[in-house]
Amino acid sequence: MKPSMHESGALDVSALPTFGFGHRSLMWWGTFGLMIIEGTVFAITVAAYFYLRSHSATWPMNAAPPDMFWGTLNTAVLLASMLPNHLAKQAAEKLDLKKVRLWMVVCLAFSLLFLAIRVLEFTSLNTRWDSQAYGSVVWMLMALHTTHLVTDAYDSAVLTVLMYTGPLEGKRYVDVSENAMYWYFVVLSWLPIYAVVYWAPRY
């Protein structure tokens, strides 16, 4: 134990900052917990996908694999959206309001784009959730991830509005930075799901 703590009866902390970024902030740990939970959900759903596949003679069961185009395009869009997202995060950590506003708006534009494409993805899955177990699990994967896209897009929208209207204080920049981290998660967790939904039926 550091001596300073026992010299006087009291430990003065009044000089400490009132907010901080990364794992110094409580928010980061909250987001981290969410990411563990949702990562586990995705992992288990993928496991269920291959479990069902291992019990089926044919895969995909009497259905064509999903068309590649929209899914691949959306993957590209999602990956691209990481750039403005990254810049927004950096700006937030520099407490640079103007840049934060700019990049948050760009991110929003991206989220509208990939939500639109996601709709088209559903139309090109070539199966229905109630056709057979294959359709069910594919739709489950897509629905789970789409839920994350929607919620993340909505969070970012609310934050963006707040960035324009205020009231602002230091910890709002932390929120922006954590929101950006969550965005990374949503994009990166898509890659394995993309592989499973679009490539697994082909091999």
Residues that bind other proteins (CB under 8 A): 1-2, 5-6, 8-21, 23-26, 29-30, 33-34, 36-38, 40-41, 44-45, 48, 51-52, 55-56, 61, 95, 129-137, 139-140, 154, 158, 162, 166-172
Shortest distance, position 194 Cβ to other proteins, whole Å: 19
Shortest distance, position 116 Cβ to other proteins, whole Å: 17
Q: For residue 34, give every residue at least 6 positions away whose Cβ sits within 8 Å of its Cβ, in sequence order, or none.
A: 182
Closer Cβ to other proteins, 82 or 168, answer by number? 168
Dihedral, CA atoms, 108, 44, 128, 191, nearest 10 degrees? 40
DSSP 25-63: SHHHHHHHHHHHHHHHHHHHHHHHHHHHHHT-SSSSTTS
Closer Cβ to other proteins, 166 or 203, answer by number? 166
The DSSP letter of residue 182 is H
Closer Cβ to other proteins, 72 or 147, answer by number? 147
Closer Cβ to other proteins, 27 or 117, answer by number? 27
Closer Cβ to other proteins, 2 or 98, answer by number? 2
Shortest distance, position 50 Cβ to other proteins, whole Å: 11
Shortest distance, position 197 Cβ to other proteins, whole Å: 16
Shortest distance, position 17 Cβ to other proteins, whole Å: 4
Q: Show the CA angle centred on residue 28, arms to residues 42 and 107, nearest 5°.
A: 70
Tell me: cis bond preceding 65? Omega within 30 of 0 counts: no
